[in-house]
A = this chain, B = another copy of it.
């Protein structure tokens, strides 16, 4: 490999064609996972669904875990995009409305990825990373930290950290429940109001 080639590769580590392949494979994986479950998601099955050879699949992913990881990252990223947008849109809202707007958006986004999320959470052995959506949680934490700073600026660092740690886990958990496994009888809107309320008052102290 010439130095030139290496340089140009460093600049665009992912070629246009490669990206196409990667996408095809990931989309196929998402389809299989959502539709047929993790048990059916063999690498060969995914390659067939992507209409790509199994050899090519292994050209773009080192192993199966990497595919699942990319899938997870992708959901994270897509939900994250919507979340971030909602956060910006809510910057001028008062606490309650801002939080609710963000949570509604989050639940909407999660619902839109229900298929993969259910499979990822229920069927995929995660290998020691309890949390399927850590980036979401991080982002949600940052946003909330900002809100608290603005609305209750006096809280000591340690105290805030502890409150955020708990509140974020709980909120994300609540949103997942509302999005993915809400029982028949319970009203989505009311549940979201309640989460909002708990979150706001839980952070106010």
Which A residues contact B (CB, under 8 angstroms)? 8, 37-39, 48, 118, 121-130, 158-159, 161-163, 165-167, 169-171, 173-174, 177-178, 180-181, 183, 185-187, 190-191, 194-195, 197-198, 201-202
Cβ distance A109 to chain B, nearest Cβ, rounded Å: 18
CA distance in complex: A166, B178 (Å): 9
Query: How far apart are A39's CB and chain B's nearest CB, in angstroms?
Result: 7
C-alpha spacing A185/B159, complex, angstroms:
11
Q: Which residue of B lies closest to A163 (CB)?
A: B194
Question: Which residues of B lie under 8 Å from residue A197 when comparing CB positions?
Answer: 202
Q: Can you offer 10 A-B residue contacts whose CB atoms are under 8 A?
A: A118-B128, A123-B126, A125-B125, A130-B180, A158-B185, A163-B194, A166-B194, A170-B171, A170-B173, A198-B202
The DSSP consensus for interface residues of chain A is helix
Q: How far is the CA of A129 from the CA of B123 in the complex (A)?
A: 9
| Smallest CB separation, A45 vs chain B (Å) | 11
Contacts of A194 in B (CB 8 A): 162-163, 166, 202
- CB proximity of A63 to chain B, nearest CB, Å: 13
Tell me if B185 and A177 are in contact (CB < 8 A). no
Residues of chain B within 8 A (CB-CB) of A39 are 125, 127
Are A122 and B118 also in contact (CB < 8 A) when A166-B177, A202-B202 are?
no
Q: How far is the CA of A194 from the CA of B38 in the complex (A)?
A: 37
Contact among B170, B191, B201 with A174 in the assembled complex (CB-CB below 8 Å): B170
Q: Are A198 and B122 in contact (CB under 8 A)?
A: no
Cα A8 to Cα B129 in complex, Å, equals: 34
